[in-house]
Structure 1
């Protein structure tokens, strides 16, 4: 069994490694431009959104209590993003619409 100090140390080490792994690509690619980086900067946002939509719709059936909130949340997120181009607004607004629709239909 780990002591409290050992557990705290493990959490700090894991957090530091996670932060370093997330920071490394930005540090390593700073000031460097390539065709690959340009391509990824153009295509990754759309790719990430496609994956998120697929994940959201996974397991959603024809039941209105499951499908309607998911589709409403996706539509609200896309609409807000097209309107304002602010990721925070899009995520919060889409999530809010999803939760509200889930509460009303659930």
Structure 2
């Protein structure tokens, strides 16, 4: 890909991102109640996305060969434990990721 093509690609992605961010304010202006289905999606999607990320994270974990999925299990337990304790998603995910990386690098 040439430099010009890369600039065009980044510009198209930026315009698409901005469009999807701003169109929601045009469809649902402030002061107007969103439809019940949109409100339902706002409540259901965060948990669904987190569940999908958990499944994606563990889908290739091998439990029958060394290290038997132990680093993933420890990182998962740290993440869940910190989230239940602190109720801060950023802290729990960051700590779980850091713990996982430290364990994997030292095996």
For the aligned pair, the TM-score class normalised by the smaller chain equals 0.7 to 0.9
Report the TM-score when normalising by structure 2: 0.74
Aligned to 2:95: 93
What is the SS of the residue equivalent to 1:65?
Answer: coil
CA contact 1:65–1:102 (8 Å) conserved in 2: no
Match of 1:73 among 62, 72, 75: 75
Partner of 1:49: 50
Shift of 1:94: 1.2
What's the offset of the Cα at 1:76? 1.8
Distance 1:30 1:75, change over 3 A: farther
Aligned residues: 103
Question: Which structure exhibits the higher relative contact order, with contacts defined as CA atoms closer than 8 Å and separated by 6 or more residues?
Answer: 1
Query: Matches of 1:73 and 1:43 in 2, distance apart?
Result: 25
Between stretches 95-104 and 37-46, larger displacement belongs to 37-46
Is residue 73–residue 94 contact of structure 1 (8 Å, CA) maintained in 2? yes
5+ long unaligned stretches in structure 2: none
* Deviation of 1:30 (Å): 4.4
Cα shift at 1:54: 0.6
Which stretches in structure 1 are left out of the alignment for 5+ residues?
A: none
Following superposition, which runs of at least 4 residues in structure 1 exceed 6 angstroms of deviation? none
What is the TM-score of this pair, normalised by structure 1?
0.75
Give 1 or 2: higher helix fraction: 1
2:4 and 2:17 mapped to 1: Cα distance?
A: 20
8 Å contact kept, 1:53–1:74: no
Assess, with a 3 A threshold, how the Cα gap between structure 1 residues 14 and 42 changes in structure 2: closer, same or farther. closer
